[in-house]
Structure 1
Amino acid sequence: MDTEENASLQLFIEYLQIEKNCSPYTIEFYQQDIKQFFLFMTNQAIVDLNEVNSSDVRIYLTKLFDEQLARKSIARKISSLRSFYRFLVREEIIEANPFSTISIPKLEKRLPGFFYEEELQQLFLSCDSLTPLGLRNKALLELLYATGIRVGECTKIQLKDIDFSISTILIKGKGQKERYVPFGSFAHAALESYIKEGRIKLVGNNGNKHNFLFVNYRGGVLTDRGVRDILNKMMNTLSSGDKIYPHKLRHSFATHLLANGADMRTVQELLGHSSLSSTQIYTHVTNEYLKKTYMSYHPRA
């Protein structure tokens, strides 16, 4: 990579960190996408960021399609580069943004998957409450469904973040944003049992000293991947054959709230969405949910 290109990228990363307050995960994707484009520039004998024009961008877009990348991945890469060049224009490093006239490929609109209440009930009943790991798994499942939090937010929770007196948790979300999320009586009971009877044994038996809520079998901090593995093992105990992932519980949380009369603004706040448009997709899911419920239970459906 050219020194000038490297300096421009570093300036952009600092902008994302300081001004945009992006998460390390988001910044990593920006870096990957931009460095990949720098490699394309080298292969095309383009020696300066200012030399890139709309024709070069179209060639790059064609290359991405030839690699048979998913439309979502291509859209993200183009969006990353558009933001990068917009920043360079703002800083007067280059004169024009060649990505400004390039349209991002339309994405297929797929409704998020969710569980019906009967399916969740089977999942909750499958939890083993007689072992420390069983208590942890039940608390994890109850909390994810009760709050709709992201798996990355869940693994960051510390004991001091939970206020059992008013049943709320301080959640540290995307972009270091914080919000308080309530949880119900089932999650309350499961968390208390896990902390008093499960977590203390898992941590104590292995000599670990930390304040994170969820731990692995060795007493260390539970990772995002660890959560996914736990949920998949729980799902394998059922005969339905469905797949489970943390976001499916988040989708179920939002869908069930809206189906039972919650207003969209409240659901937006609980989910930690910065924009209401991110929450609106659940209105479509709710319509499907209500239709299936009607067809299943109405005597003359």
Structure 2
Amino acid sequence: MPWQPASRSSVGKYVNRARWFIGFLVEYGAVTPSTDELPGVDLHEVQIVAFQTWLRRHRGISERTVRRHGRMVMRLLAGLGPDPKLYDARLVRQVILDEAQRSSRANLKTMTMALRGYLKYLATQGLCQRLDQAIPTVPQWRLSALPLYISTADVDRVVASCDVTTPIGIRDHAVLLLLARLGLRAGDVSSMCLEDIDWREGTLCVRGKGRREIRLPLPQNVGEAIIDYLREARPPAACEQIFLRAVAPHLPLASATVSSIVKLALVRAGIDNAPSRGANLLRRSAATSMLRAGATLDMIGAVLRHRSVDTTAHYAKVDIDMLLQVAQPWPGSASC
């Protein structure tokens, strides 16, 4: 067979692998960042890869967040410059202020979080002075809005919208039940493995943010939906994860795909006024449903694995009838 030059996509894969390997060596201090030996590899990219490796090892955040932080820091590096030793508080503040002119407040808040982590990483590696405290705070009322959710009846319509006579419908039915009954995140579902389920005890081990583990009771209908998927619809593939793509190659579902399952189910159920269309919608709906069924905030926080009770207290605002009973007249109003 005659020799053929490698395609552009193949070359790109090899270059990306080289970047990851160089970033790994940089993060361990085995080499000094340099692009002389590898033309086409930008020094910024090497630094970002090393930063992402550090995040995976030391911060315990999801892979999706790792990639997002890398993209955001890469965007800010154009203003910071290539040499971390030249960074100072004035430069860091100016980069954030410049970014504030072209980004939304929510996006800017995430950017400051990513940059704060990057500056901490550089300081731990001795590449720059401690500057994470120099990042200005983005003003934002914490938990000021009402939770975005749909009613219990609408949740049932979403779950029932799946065509369980098809492999995709059987899979999506199990996924939606996990989201709606246990309040799982999209990443919890996509990373779920068979060994996480204790069928004898009827529990499910969930590994959430910060690498924390918790065992949740597995409702019977959820367990039966998972068994139906394993027996009748799951493709034969050597993957640890339970839920796989229906079309070859049969890879594990991505978090974005789990959210897409919710979005499509909302369309099938005819729910056009949903306040959001991702997996978190069913998570918030599960929390509000538990609250209205009489569950305490501590119980809801345990199921949703909230680190702070303030986050769980956010859901207390959905009980409008109870709030009306304790609301006081506004000072100076006619009712005073």
| TM-score bracket relative to the smaller structure | 0.7 to 0.9
Number of aligned residue pairs: 279
| Alignment match of 2:89 (pick from 33, 45, 53) | 53
Deviation at 1:252?
Answer: 1.0
Q: Where does residue 295 of structure 1 map in the other structure?
A: none
Change (3 A) 1:29 1:223: closer
| Alignment match of 2:288 (pick from 255, 258, 267) | 255
TM-score relative to the length of structure 1: 0.77
Gaps of 5+ in 1: 293-301
Q: Is structure 2 residue 302 aligned with structure 1 residue 269? A: yes
Q: Is the 8 A contact 1:71 1:107 kept in 2?
A: no
- Stretch deviating more after TM superposition (138-147 or 119-128): 119-128
Q: Where does residue 32 of structure 1 map in the other structure?
A: 71
Deviation at 1:37?
Answer: 2.9
Change (3 A) 1:281 1:230: same
| Alignment match of 2:259 (pick from 205, 218, 228) | 228
- After superposition, where does 1:213-224 map in structure 2 within 5 Å? 213-218=242-247, 220=250, 221-224=252-255
Change (3 A) 1:19 1:135: closer
Q: Where does residue 20 of structure 1 map in the other structure?
A: 59
Q: Where does residue 134 of structure 2 map in the other structure?
A: 100
Change (3 A) 1:183 1:146: farther
1:38 is paired with a residue whose SS is: helix
Q: Is the 8 A contact 2:60 2:209 kept in 1?
A: no
2:134 is paired with a residue whose SS is: coil
Identity of aligned residues (%): 20
Change (3 A) 1:247 1:10: closer
Q: CA–CA distance in 2 between the matches of 1:107 and 1:14?
A: 32
Q: CA–CA distance in 2 between the matches of 1:162 and 1:14?
A: 30
2:319 is paired with a residue whose SS is: helix
Deviation at 1:49?
Answer: 3.8
Deviation at 1:224?
Answer: 2.3
Deviation at 1:167?
Answer: 2.2
Deviation at 1:150?
Answer: 0.7
| Alignment match of 2:98 (pick from 57, 63, 66) | 63
- After superposition, where does 1:152-171 map in structure 2 within 5 Å? 152-171=187-206
Gaps of 5+ in 2: 1-31, 35-42, 325-336
Q: CA–CA distance in 1 between the matches of 2:173 and 2:54?
A: 41
Change (3 A) 1:289 1:217: farther
1:194 is paired with a residue whose SS is: helix
TM-score relative to the length of structure 2: 0.70
Q: Where does residue 271 of structure 2 map in the other structure?
A: 240
Q: Where does residue 296 of structure 1 map in the other structure?
A: none
Deviation at 1:130?
Answer: 2.5
Q: Where does residue 74 of structure 1 map in the other structure?
A: 108
Q: Is the 8 A contact 1:159 1:211 kept in 2?
A: yes
Deviation at 1:101?
Answer: 6.6
The one-letter code matched in structure 2 to 1:34 is V
Deviation at 1:58?
Answer: 4.1
Deviation at 1:151?
Answer: 0.8
Q: Is the 8 A contact 2:112 2:135 kept in 1?
A: no
Q: CA–CA distance in 2 between the matches of 1:94 and 1:233?
A: 47
Deviation at 1:246?
Answer: 0.8
Q: Is the 8 A contact 1:259 1:290 kept in 2?
A: no
1:169 is paired with a residue whose SS is: strand
The one-letter code matched in structure 2 to 1:179 is I
Q: Is structure 2 residue 213 aligned with structure 1 residue 178? A: yes
The one-letter code matched in structure 2 to 1:216 is R
Q: Is the 8 A contact 1:114 1:248 kept in 2?
A: yes
Deviation at 1:117?
Answer: 1.1
Residues 228-286 of structure 1, C-alpha deviations (whole Å, 9 max, x = no match): 333222222233313432110111111111222222223222222233333222222x3
Deviation at 1:152?
Answer: 1.0
Q: CA–CA distance in 2 between the matches of 1:144 and 1:256?
A: 13
Residues 177-206 of structure 1, C-alpha deviations (whole Å, 9 max, x = no match): 22212122322332233333x32xx41xxx
Change (3 A) 1:249 1:92: same
| Alignment match of 2:237 (pick from 198, 208, 212) | 208
Q: Is the 8 A contact 1:129 1:135 kept in 2?
A: yes
- Stretch deviating more after TM superposition (56-65 or 135-144): 56-65
Q: CA–CA distance in 2 between the matches of 1:13 and 1:210?
A: 25
Q: CA–CA distance in 2 between the matches of 1:129 and 1:34?
A: 44
Deviation at 1:214?
Answer: 1.7
Q: Where does residue 134 of structure 1 map in the other structure?
A: 169
